[in-house]
Chain A
Amino acid sequence: MNDSQLVLTLVAAIGLGTPLIFATVGEIITERSGILNLGVQGMMLIGAVSGFWATFTTGSLLLGVIVAVIAGAALSWLHAFTSVTLRVNQIVSGLALAIFGTGLASFLGRAGSNPLVGNPSRKVFEPLITGGIAEWPVVGPLIFGHDILVYLSIIVAGVASYYLFHTRMGLSLRAVGEDPASAESAGVNVSRVRYIHVMVGGALAGAGGAYFSLALTPTWQDDPIGAAGWIAIALVILASWRPWRAVFAAYLFGAAERVQFTLQTLGDPWSNIPSTLLAMLPFILAIIAMIVLTSGKRARLLGAPAALAIPYFREQR
């Protein structure tokens, strides 16, 4: 029963969805502060390569994740600097981050006399529990059969949700994203809130990247994450800027990605559907979701921060 295609697909969807949860929750936190960071792809790739490198050098998965988180946050600092301090166009700055991060990650993976590329990771995230409950029918692989980062990603979403809606810092964060001028005059340090949350977003994107290189495809290659960073940006909208919904949106996309493999195993006529067409599925889903969910004023009702992507000019001092 645990080998049924449905269970296998769902399990794989959770795995493929996990890095998307990290990145999407990170981007939600960033966008809630009113900053749009389109550089998720770059931050994830930097996380992927630096995490892989750290684990490759030290043999420690924990260090790998920590390094990935720091690297993602460091790259996102650049975006915070351009969009908060310099107040230049966030869209272009985010794209710059994506291009730079992608190039740098690929460069670092291939540079030097002993490049990472082609090497398998020295350690890989394994399921936390083997045997026992993890072998129960259906719920075993589905609920108990995952590695620690899968559970951590859900905890991250939960914590982010609590933080946003039930803490005073979360209130400041939402206020800054809605109306920075009002938040500032209520005594909130708008710049600081934005810097912090852009970097938290970068850190989580870094963690998501590391999940690719240390769990999903643990051999270094130039482009180990596909288009995950771009999908995460779309998922933010699908999740209507709420961390919990990001979990479900991410798993849905994980499933959409997995479907192409599942269909291959189902035989005629399913296996005749070209994988190149199926690979479009997540993107088509995102576009339809965009049009249906966020057109016109619906975006505001959904929870889009009112000041998103608008530079905040503090009054002259």
Chain B
Amino acid sequence: MSTRRLIVEPRGLASTRLKLLVPVASVIAALIVAGIFLLLTGESPVEVYAKMLDASFGSQRGIAETMISATPLILTGVAAAIAFKMQVWNIGGEGQFLMGAIFSAGIAIWLGDGFPATVMIPAVVIAGGLGGAFWAAVSAIPRVYLGTNEIITTLMLNFIAINFVNFLIFGSSSPWRDSAVATFPTGRPIPDAARLPEFFFRLDVGIFIAIVLAIIAWYLMGKTRWGFAVRVAGDSTDTARYAGISVPRKILGVFLLSGAFAGFAGGLFVSGPVGALDPRSLILNLGFTGIIVAALARLNLIAIIPVAVLMGALNNSGPALQSIGVPTATVSMLQGAILLFAVAGEFLIENRIRRPESVTVAANPEPETA
């Protein structure tokens, strides 16, 4: 009775090539799936994709806009990745991003016109991080001290933050609202000194700040004692306790750091391209998209940077699609499909599929029953 079924077993060690191949294949597969839907609705996928490519990379201005879109995604991607590495399911990047934006715009407006950029810009960036960390704390503290599942609380806090931004601008005469414009409520522009300098079309130095912050996160997680303890705790809570690592403090730290990164993104977006707490320019699912970035980058904090550029390019191409009569939602459909394929692709990275006969390396005998 020979069994000829394919055997699936843990791979243990995946080659770098495979780790690179799977995300690339995920993107291609998603393009094919979205292409099918485009065909079904009478569009030419080739034409649509060419248009998207052209909008995002076809001109210097396009590239600048792509980089502008990528900047917050680097940071929301890092936010998701460091939390997920620790098995902290912070899916509240959206809310933390917005709270960062609120804090940033708030401090800039509060400080007003009397300060130089050397004071204003650091203040705005730091305030963004604090805002994000504060919003994360609302979930993190119950999680750590009461054991409340953070998935639901972070999720719900997204919607509270969205409504809160709307409240500040549409529902009240808050300092964030521009009192000069009476017709339609908008955000009050922050002082010029708080705006990040632009250097390439509209592209501002926020992109460099984001990259530096991502590298700092990478160093912190991979090269420090704290990061090692976090990795142990993320791998096995019981083992961490056994090794004398304070798990609650690590969870709290990672959770707040994750929130801070999403908040940094909000801060940089306000002081960069947007220049005000403006709901229509800020509520773009950048927090959620960060999760896609993190997953496609396989939680690798450096790989997040190029992946964020890719996602930024997709986001950036939406308006161009509208001009040729294709729904902007093509972009979110594509992004959802990319995430689906990326997460499914983890299976290929984690597992090896082989025929039953070819016995491989001696590693593990019977699984331990204990």
Contacts and interface: CB of A to CB of B under 8 A. Distances in A.
Contact of B288 (A95, A110, A286): A95
B211 to A, nearest CB: 25
A102 B343 CA distance: 18
Contact of B42 (A108, A113, A233, A290): A113
Given A110-B329, A233-B155, A280-B163, A95 B42 contact: no
Interface stretch (B52-60, B62-70, B164-172, B194-202): B164-172
B346 interface: yes
A185 B85 CA distance: 33
B332 A280 contact: no
Interface in A241-255: none
Given A93-B343, A287-B157, A111 B41 contact: yes
Interface stretch (B100-108, B141-149, B221-229, B251-259): B141-149
Interface stretch (B120-128, B270-278, B334-342): B334-342
State which size class the interface on A falls in: 35 or more
B37 interface: yes
B301 interface: no
B347 A86 contact: yes
Given A88-B343, A104-B37, A237 B152 contact: yes
Contact of A42 (B84, B159, B160, B336): B336
A112 B327 CA distance: 9
A274 B37 contact: no
A265 B336 CA distance: 41
Contacts of A78: 340
Given A38-B151, A93-B340, A107-B37, A280 B160 contact: yes
A4 interface: no
A111 B331 CA distance: 13
B336 A86 contact: no
Interface string B63-102: 0000000000000000000001000010100000000000
Contacts of B37: 104, 107-108, 111
A171 interface: no
SS of A interface (majority): helix
B227 to A, nearest CB: 22
A15 B159 CA distance: 22
Interface in A262-276: 274-276
A276 B295 CA distance: 33
B288 A284 contact: no
Given A276-B167, A294-B148, A283 B340 contact: no
B344 A291 contact: no
A108 B42 CA distance: 12
SS of B interface (majority): helix
Contacts of A123: none
Contact of A88 (B89, B337, B347): B347
A91 to B, nearest CB: 5
B329 A112 contact: no
28 contacts: A38-B155, A82-B340, A92-B84, A92-B291, A93-B343, A95-B339, A97-B336, A99-B288, A102-B332, A103-B335, A105-B329, A107-B329, A108-B41, A110-B327, A111-B43, A111-B326, A112-B41, A274-B170, A274-B171, A275-B171, A280-B163, A283-B156, A283-B163, A287-B138, A290-B142, A291-B153, A296-B147, A316-B9
Interface of B: 3, 5, 7, 9, 37-38, 41-43, 84, 89, 91, 138, 142, 146-149, 151-153, 155-157, 159-160, 163-164, 166-167, 170-172, 288, 291-292, 295, 326-327, 329-337, 339-340, 342-344, 346-347, 350, 367
Interface of A: 38, 42, 78, 81-82, 86-89, 91-93, 95-113, 222, 227, 230, 233-234, 237, 274-277, 279-280, 283-284, 286-287, 290-291, 294-297, 299, 315-317
- What 4 A-B pairs come out closest when comparing CB atoms? A100-B336, A103-B332, A274-B171, A103-B333
Given A99-B336, A103-B334, 8 more contacts: A86-B344, A100-B333, A100-B337, A103-B331, A107-B41, A230-B156, A276-B170, A295-B142
